[in-house]
Structure 1
Amino acid sequence: MPPNRASKRAKTADEEVSELSAPKDQASDTEPTATVPPTPSFKGQLSRFQYNSTIPVSDNASPKSVSVRSSKRTRADVRVTPTTDGALTAPSPQPQKKRKSSSYAPSSRYAHLSPLVDILEPNLICVFVGTNPGVQTATAGHAYAHPSNHFWKLLHASGLTDRRLSPTEDRSLPVKYCMGNTNIVSRPSKNAAELSKEEMVAGAGELEAKFREFRPEAVCIVGKGIWEAIWKYRKGRAVRKEEFRYGWQDEEMNMGMVDGEQHWPGSKVFVTTSTSGLAANLTPAEKEAIWKPFGEWVQKRREERGFRPGKEEGSVQLQ
């Protein structure tokens, strides 16, 4: 390359640096002299002309015209749409798939199992109301037969029975203790989740008919879910949180009431805890405390009525 051309290029670079370092305006005599910053190096001046990855965006630029990539994975971009008045609106999020609220099973699934026989007689002191027979209970043909169920244990702990009975002794409840047993739904299932709310409410109407016929002094509702179904049948709405309580209920909620010439005030209602082993929202001690007042009331009524247990046949004691 000819030397004169190279020197011309060097001179051009020197001139460029000189021009960049020179102040654009001269200070006025009437104004204080401004401090002149130090002249940057040649490389510093060249950095002004290097490529900058930051892209300036004006205030009027559309959000769609700028795309910024991130090294991290983020959720799907939310696109905004300008409306006629200039406001920006975001579309509604895509609906998520809803999980099934229950594992309902039709009665045909357990058609091979027989419903549990009601243990009812006229004028009993009390009748227990369970949800429905479980598979093992229906197979055994005796109430609360699953080993994890605490029904027979709680009956003994609360004084309703003088010892812990075996499920095979359920038919002796009337003659030995003046007590009975039934369910709000008769068909068997694996658990209560396989029942529909509609058949639970319909079962409440069937209970009313049973109690009008046999007229027990009191009914013991074994579980909150059963009482909620009865409440909805009676009042046409769900029970509110502040309205629910364990123990004795108001007289207006008596079951099986009869009007007219054969007037009968109905069976008093006591709501207690579920005895299922799956119901772990309360401790065993808390459950016993809720059952205890009902056991004491039944014992008192036996004494007042002069009840004497009949002969016990074929009983099996639990150690």
Structure 2
Amino acid sequence: MPLVEDSPLEDNNTQILPTTLNPDNEAYNGDHDDDNDVPVNKKTSFNGRLNQYFHTAKPTSSAPPALSSIKRTATTTTTRPSRTSSPLKRKRTTPPTSTTTTSTRITRSRSRSSTSTPTSTTSTTSSPRPRKPPTPPTTSSASDSLLTDTIPPNLTLLLVGVNPGILTGITGYAYAHPSNLFWKLLHWSGITPIRHPPSDTYKLPELYNIGNTNIVERPTRDASMLSKKEMDAGVPILEAKVREKRPEAVCLVGKSIWEAVWRVKVGRGIRKEEFRYGWQDEGMNMGRVEGWEGARVFVATTTSGLAAGMSVMEKREVWDELGRWVVERRKVWEMEKGGDGDGSDGVKVE
């Protein structure tokens, strides 16, 4: 009989593996076998062999989501299996990517923030600046107003206003605004026997030997818009007109005109106790030259409807004083002219 090697003995279920030589004549057993080799003479169960092909995925750490002020409406999660060594080198198919869609409620505050522009963006649109009112010119010009002087020689009375109003400058008629009391005060005081409209401005010299001019020619809405420098600059011009035409008296229609004349003549502002309405001292006559003592000065109230410092009755008291003098002087003028001396000079009295 052929000789047969004894099979390895089993002791307490322990297997003794045979020792063989590898191509390099080195001894090895199944413990040093490749991972792909199945152990020889090793009892394995069905579950044991199945576990050799069971794949356990290693957990992968994912970075925490970045903070965001906007909740995303859908979140996509992709899970890829990690490759680990397995007992068998066999080609494994990659499992399909699992996609999970999560619905998220969008709140009103989040929705508003999602439409807002980035904070780094700045608006380049500038708000409109408030428009400044135009500054009136400081120099006067005769072309600014259609009103012209009416100063024939040897007038009984020359009325001197501050400057033309806007309506006066447009129409060319003195004291043309309806709120101005000028034409009423002329009539109430008797300076004119009837109440004339502003359109009769250029008839006064012929009818009553009364003329009209202004210390400043530039028209404004109110006399307070004129500077002291502008007023003072008009004084020598007014003096020259009076010196040339030689009226008997000059009526300054407004306190501010007399204050300007005082500053130029005296060299300082007039004190409160020095000011008075009515006739002024003869030493303050205007237009004085050698051989002529100059015109007497009467300071009357302003007739502007914007001036509320005095009542109408107080203004009438001042103008009445001037009116009494004018009525007497007109009688003399009419007699010299050849009239009847009734003060009407053919004008119908109301």
Task: Specify the TM-score bucket, using the shorter chain as the normaliser.
Answer: 0.5 to 0.7
* CA contact 1:122–1:216 (8 Å) conserved in 2: yes
* CA contact 1:116–1:143 (8 Å) conserved in 2: yes
Give the superposition deviation at 1:304: 2.3
2: CA distance, partners of 1:112 / 1:174: 23
Matches within 5 A, 1:208-227: 208-227=239-258
- 2:149 alignment partner in structure 1: 118
- For the residue of structure 1 that corresponds to 2:299, the secondary structure is strand
- For the residue of structure 1 that corresponds to 2:324, the secondary structure is helix
- For the residue of structure 1 that corresponds to 2:159, the secondary structure is strand
2:327 is aligned, of 299, 304, 308, to 299
- For the residue of structure 2 that corresponds to 1:220, the secondary structure is strand
- 2:318 alignment partner in structure 1: 290
- 2:136 alignment partner in structure 1: 105
Give the superposition deviation at 1:112: 7.4
Cα separation, partners in 2 of 1:222 and 1:287, compared to 1, 3 Å? same
- 1:256 alignment partner in structure 2: 287
Number of matched residues? 210
2:185 is aligned, of 142, 146, 154, to 154
Cα separation, partners in 2 of 1:210 and 1:116, compared to 1, 3 Å? same
- For the residue of structure 1 that corresponds to 2:292, the secondary structure is coil
2: CA distance, partners of 1:254 / 1:120: 18
- Establish whether residue 184 from structure 1 lines up as the match of residue 191 from structure 2: no
* CA contact 1:104–1:196 (8 Å) conserved in 2: no
Matches within 5 A, 1:54-203: 105-107=136-138, 113-203=144-234
Cα separation, partners in 2 of 1:299 and 1:112, compared to 1, 3 Å? closer
2:278 is aligned, of 247, 266, 275, to 247
Give the superposition deviation at 1:193: 2.3
* CA contact 2:158–2:249 (8 Å) conserved in 1: yes
Structure whose residues are more often helix by fraction: 1
Give the superposition deviation at 1:128: 0.5
2: CA distance, partners of 1:266 / 1:137: 29
* CA contact 1:110–1:189 (8 Å) conserved in 2: no
Matches within 5 A, 1:34-53: none
1:276 is aligned, of 304, 323, 333, to 304
Moved over 4 A (4+): 107-112, 309-312
Cα separation, partners in 2 of 1:200 and 1:108, compared to 1, 3 Å? closer
* CA contact 1:136–1:145 (8 Å) conserved in 2: yes
Is there any run of 5+ residues in structure 1 with no aligned partner, and where? Answer: 1-102
1: CA distance, partners of 2:222 / 2:330: 34
Residue type at the aligned position of 2:168: T
Residue type at the aligned position of 2:303: T
2: CA distance, partners of 1:199 / 1:273: 20
- For the residue of structure 1 that corresponds to 2:177, the secondary structure is coil
1: CA distance, partners of 2:209 / 2:139: 35
Residue type at the aligned position of 2:297: V
Give the superposition deviation at 1:111: 9.1
Give the superposition deviation at 1:201: 0.5
Q: TM-score, normalised by structure 2?
A: 0.57
Percentage identity across paired residues of the two chains: 53
The answer to which structure, 1 or 2, has the higher relative contact order (CA under 8 A, 6+ apart) is 1
Root-mean-square deviation (Å): 2.4
Matches within 5 A, 1:298-317: 298-305=326-333, 306=335, 307=337, 308=339
* CA contact 1:105–1:195 (8 Å) conserved in 2: no
- For the residue of structure 2 that corresponds to 1:221, the secondary structure is strand
